[in-house]
Amino acid sequence: MSPEFNLIHTYFNRKTHHTDLSIGDDAALISVANQQQLAVSSDMLVAGTHFFADAPPYTIGWKSLAVNVSDMAAMGAKPKWITLAIALPHQDATWLEAFANGLFDCAKQFNIDLIGGDTTRGPLTINITILGEVSNGAAVTRSGAQINDDIWVSGELGSAALALAHLLDKISLSESAFNHARNHLQLPQPKLALGLALQDIATSCIDISDGLLADLGHILSASKLGAELDYAKMPIMPEMITEHLKPLVQQCVLSGGDDYELCFTAPKKNQETIIALSQTLNLPITLIGNTTADSELNVLYQGKPLSMHTKGFDHFA
């Protein structure tokens, strides 16, 4: 066996559940159910840009897949298959085993098959392509928001960015706050059950990877609308509530990346359904504002514009 084949066989070839032909041939074969569309998305993670190269490999494996599942959640699609293209600087068995465990723990949680990929030597880079199914026409896109829809967000905002700020010595969190925030940064939990449930409830949806303002901004430009948000309503980790007006905290909450929460719009008549859904899923879902007819995105605090106005993360800014 060639070393490359051996590596694939040892770490990445596991039992699959919804394939006709999996790893080992020139291509995998899958069947898509009747009346379903394929939802397809890729997310690439580069060491030094998306994670620290020395981060625990288990967390790198988990996060590589979690961020892709989050894109499926945002579309209302059910993820089923992934391919994994990975560049590795060297073959390190301990690293690979932990990475694969993180990846497959996430795959197991969401019932996803790894069906192929590519392996090469190079600076540590992980690219996953994910494929999922969604009933014809049922996907929740960015462009469907209507004037005066409610704007909702799941979970809490800014925690991943706060952990990063702590690691970069920009802020000092208590040990318990840091542990909580670090989990959000390293082991994000994609909100798949929520995304699937939103098919009949939301008019538009996006997952927050580059910060609330940037990602909500994508919904607003696609839907040709503006929005007014109430900063006092933002769901933030309990340890930071008393410090929520500090500029750095505001920046993490409004523009911090890596939250992987869902932000969605829905008609006001769906409020009770959404509150009930929040209880069923045991997941906070918070009403943070509403869409407007103009094209501005305004954040208010106690009725006045919030002085700090930050934008989301842009790789090429």
Collapse the DSSP code of 51 into the 3-class scheme (helix H, G, I; strand E, B; otherwise coil) and give the result. strand
Nearer to ligand ADP, 5 or 296 (CB): 5
Q: With binding defined as CB under 6 A, does residue 118 bind ligand ADP?
A: yes
Q: With binding defined as CB under 6 A, does residue 1 bind ligand ADP?
A: no
With residue 175 as reference, give the H or E element that holds it.
helix 175-186
Query: Residues 82, 22: contact at Cβ < 8 Å?
Result: no
Q: With binding defined as CB under 5 A, does residue 4 bind Mg ion?
A: no
Q: How far apart are CA 21 and CA 56, in angstroms?
A: 32
Q: How far apart are CA 10 and CA 97, in angstroms?
A: 9
What would the x/- binding string for Mg ion be over residues 184 to 223, using CB under 5 A? ----------------------------------------
111: left (phi over 0), alpha (psi -120 to 50) or beta: left
Query: Residues 189, 261: contact at Cβ < 8 Å?
Result: no
Q: With binding defined as CB under 6 A, does residue 79 bind ligand ADP?
A: no
What would the x/- binding string for Mg ion be over residues 104 to 133, using CB under 5 A? --------------x---------------
- Total residues at the site for Mg ion (CB under 5 A)? 1
| 301 interacts with, out of ligand ADP, Mg ion, none, CB within 5 to 8 A per kind | none
Q: With binding defined as CB under 6 A, does residue 24 bind ligand ADP?
A: yes
For helices 247-255 and 159-167, angle between their N-to-C axes, nearest 10 degrees: 130
Q: With binding defined as CB under 6 A, does residue 8 bind ligand ADP?
A: yes
Here the tokens at position 161 are 């960015």
Nearer to ligand ADP, 12 or 104 (CB): 12
Residues 6 or more apart in contact with residue 138 via CB below 8 angstroms? 76, 199
- Total residues at the site for ligand ADP (CB under 6 A)? 13
| 195 interacts with, out of ligand ADP, Mg ion, none, CB within 5 to 8 A per kind | none
Q: With binding defined as CB under 6 A, does residue 124 bind ligand ADP?
A: no
From residue 69, alpha-carbon distances to 36, 160, 192 in Å are: 18, 17, 7
Give min distance, CB of 6 to ligand ADP, in A.
Answer: 11
Binding site for Mg ion (CB under 5 A): 118
Binding site for ligand ADP (CB under 6 A): 8, 12, 23-26, 84, 86, 114, 116-119
